[in-house]
């Protein structure tokens, strides 16, 4: 009764307006939670529903049929003839497996380091007693293929080149095609962290010589975290034969042997494999090229919108998995991240490490669409304005709409508009 009375009074307070409307604090509205981060990413409903079927046993034909299909579909969407294996692990477990199974303590390697994830390669090298030469780019920049070429020429002992296809911490993308062509000519293998690269950039694994690539479930695959993927070339398998590093859980040869029989070496994450099966069906139906194009278009629209709002893209070589944006001068990017959560219950990410406060990141990888972006940019405009950086309402959204119109609306129609 009290609630009703209050609603009535809220309504009548402004009844003199053309459209009567209560004024109440923003904390009191309905705000659906929206996960709009570069991992975990928004979840595909059909994949989530499939997880309800996880009361199957992993040493039965039911499971083997599922796993065989998942591995075949993974190969298909990755577009590779290399072996593809899954691990019950985060992406970082996949990175370790990609090192531990192929190299030995004391091995000399080359690491392209352009952000927090490049630094993770360096940590893994250190943990496994390997001697890494590090090509370091400033945060936001990338390592040039020419630098890789020079380093390989200078040291013929280098056994592996490590890189991030997409450096999630800065929004930068490496030119892995050019790098692959260079590494291909040497005895070194090319190890690519493609955790946020898969599904956001073209990756011709076989053609470009990406000997090992690592992926993760909670990225463009649209399912929760918990699975890592590793694709391994014959050149990498050959190197594995010489590896003396100890291993047990992340034993890729053991995984490969089991995979032939439709099984995993250890207890698999059945729920996530069921989810992945549905996600791969969705991706196959859409087309991997369209999944990539989707991210590219949303990234382009995001760059157009934030540029229109007078903001600056952080990376000199922006990729399509995530766009890192500098806040207006004097504003902490954490304020923007918090305001998204408080005002709209939308979760976006701050910078990591020393980039915290310096950038906020808008993701595009996987199950994202224009609907998400229209709303997100409208919200960004409001947040900037509410925090002392007034912008023209609708101007960033219009930039997104213009990109949509360019890619999806007949030019004949647009010719007559008053935009």
Restricted to residues 192-221, the positions that interact with a second copy (CB under 8 A) are 202-204, 206-207
The one-character DSSP state at 294 is H
Closest to a second copy by CB, 182 vs 198, is 198
Segment 11-17 long-range contacts (CB within 8 Å, at least 24 positions apart): none
115 close to 219: Cβ distance less than 8 angstroms = no
CA 403, CA 398: separation in Å to the nearest integer?
9
- What residues between 390 and 409 interact with a second copy by CB under 8 A? 390-398, 400-409
Closest to a second copy by CB, 130 vs 142, is 142
- To the nearest 10°, report the CA torsion of 196, 197, 200, 205: -150
Q: Minimum CB separation from a second copy for residue 96, in Å?
A: 27
- What residues between 16 and 35 interact with a second copy by CB under 8 A? 19-26, 28-34
CA 21, CA 163: separation in Å to the nearest integer?
54
Q: Minimum CB separation from a second copy for residue 400, in Å?
A: 7
362 close to 351: Cβ distance less than 8 angstroms = no
Residue 229 CB partners (closer than 8 Å, separation 6+): 74, 84, 85, 86, 87, 94, 198, 214, 215, 216, 217
Q: Minimum CB separation from a second copy for residue 253, in Å?
A: 26
For residue 184, the tally of other CB atoms under 10 A from its CB is 16
Closest to a second copy by CB, 229 vs 344, is 344
Q: Minimum CB separation from a second copy for residue 302, in Å?
A: 10
| Binder among 126, 138, 290, 356 for a second copy (CB under 8 A) | 290
111 close to 134: Cβ distance less than 8 angstroms = yes
CA 98, CA 183: separation in Å to the nearest integer?
17
- To the nearest 10°, report the CA torsion of 375, 380, 381, 382: 90
CA 111, CA 271: separation in Å to the nearest integer?
35
Q: Minimum CB separation from a second copy for residue 29, in Å?
A: 5
| Binder among 5, 15, 55, 61 for a second copy (CB under 8 A) | 5
Closest C-alpha to 99, from 9, 230, 205: 230
- What residues between 306 and 345 interact with a second copy by CB under 8 A? 343-345
Q: Minimum CB separation from a second copy for residue 149, in Å?
A: 22
How many whole angstroms from its chain centre is CA 258? 29
- What residues between 347 and 376 interact with a second copy by CB under 8 A? 367-372, 374-375
Q: Minimum CB separation from a second copy for residue 208, in Å?
A: 9
The one-character DSSP state at 318 is B
Q: Minimum CB separation from a second copy for residue 137, in Å?
A: 21
| Binder among 146, 150, 153, 286 for a second copy (CB under 8 A) | 286
Q: What would the two tokens of residue 375 be?
A: 């709303």
Residue 68 CB partners (closer than 8 Å, separation 6+): 262
| Binder among 156, 287, 310, 353 for a second copy (CB under 8 A) | 287
Q: Minimum CB separation from a second copy for residue 378, in Å?
A: 4
- What residues between 112 and 171 interact with a second copy by CB under 8 A? none
208 close to 181: Cβ distance less than 8 angstroms = yes
Say how many residues touch a second copy, by CB under 8 A. 96
Closest to a second copy by CB, 148 vs 384, is 384
- What residues between 64 and 103 interact with a second copy by CB under 8 A? 77, 79-80
- What residues between 38 and 57 interact with a second copy by CB under 8 A? 42, 45, 52
Closest to a second copy by CB, 252 vs 283, is 283
Strand 108-113 relative to strand 160-164, pairing: parallel
235 near a second copy (CB under 8 A) = no
Question: Of the listed pieces 120-128, 230-238, 248-256, 381-389, which binds a second copy according to CB under 8 A?
Answer: 381-389
């Amino acid at each position: 009764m009290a609630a009703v009375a209050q609603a009535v009074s809220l309504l009548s307070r402004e009844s003199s307006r053309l459209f009567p409307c209560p004024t109440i604090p923003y904390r009191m509205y309905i705000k659906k939670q929206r996960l709009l981060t570069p991992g975990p990413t928004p979840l595909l409903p059909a994949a989530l529903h499939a997880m309800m079927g996880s009361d199957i046993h992993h040493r039965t034909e039911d499971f083997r049929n599922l796993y065989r299909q998942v591995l075949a579909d993974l190969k298909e969407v990755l577009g590779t003839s290399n072996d593809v294996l899954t691990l019950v692990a985060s992406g970082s477990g996949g990175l370790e497996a990609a090192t531990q199974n192929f190299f030995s303590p004391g091995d000399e390697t080359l690491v392209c380091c352009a952000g927090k994830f490049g630094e993770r390669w360096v940590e893994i090298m250190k943990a496994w007693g390997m001697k890494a030469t590090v090509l370091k780019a400033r945060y936001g920049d990338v390592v040039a293929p020419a630098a890789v070429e020079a380093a390989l020429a200078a040291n013929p002992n280098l056994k592996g080149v490590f890189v991030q296809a997409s450096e999630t911490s800065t929004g930068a993308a490496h030119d892995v095609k050019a790098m692959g062509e260079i590494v291909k000519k040497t005895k070194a293998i090319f190890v690519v962290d493609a955790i946020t690269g898969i599904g956001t950039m073209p990756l011709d694994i076989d053609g470009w010589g990406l000997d090992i690539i690592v992926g993760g479930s909670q990225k463009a695959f649209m399912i929760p975290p918990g699975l890592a993927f590793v694709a391994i070339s014959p050149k990498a398998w050959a190197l594995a034969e010489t590896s003396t590093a100890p291993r047990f859980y992340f034993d890729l040869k053991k995984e490969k042997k089991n995979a032939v029989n439709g099984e995993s070496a250890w207890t698999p994450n059945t729920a996530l494999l069921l989810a992945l099966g549905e996600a791969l069906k969705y991706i196959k139906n859409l087309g991997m090229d369209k999944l990539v194009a989707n991210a590219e278009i949303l990234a382009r629209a995001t760059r157009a919108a934030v540029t229109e709002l007078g903001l600056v893209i952080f990376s000199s070589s922006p990729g399509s998995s995530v766009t890192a944006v500098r806040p207006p001068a004097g504003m902490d990017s954490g304020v923007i991240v918090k305001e998204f959560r408080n005002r709209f219950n939308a979760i976006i990410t701050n910078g990591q490490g020393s980039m915290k406060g310096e950038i906020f990141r808008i993701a595009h990888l996987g199950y994202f669409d224009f609907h998400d972006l229209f709303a997100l940019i409208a919200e960004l405009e409001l947040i900037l304005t509410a925090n002392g950086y007034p912008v023209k309402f609708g101007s960033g959204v219009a930039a997104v709409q213009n990109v949509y119109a360019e890619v999806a609306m007949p030019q004949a129609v647009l010719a007559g508009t008053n935009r």
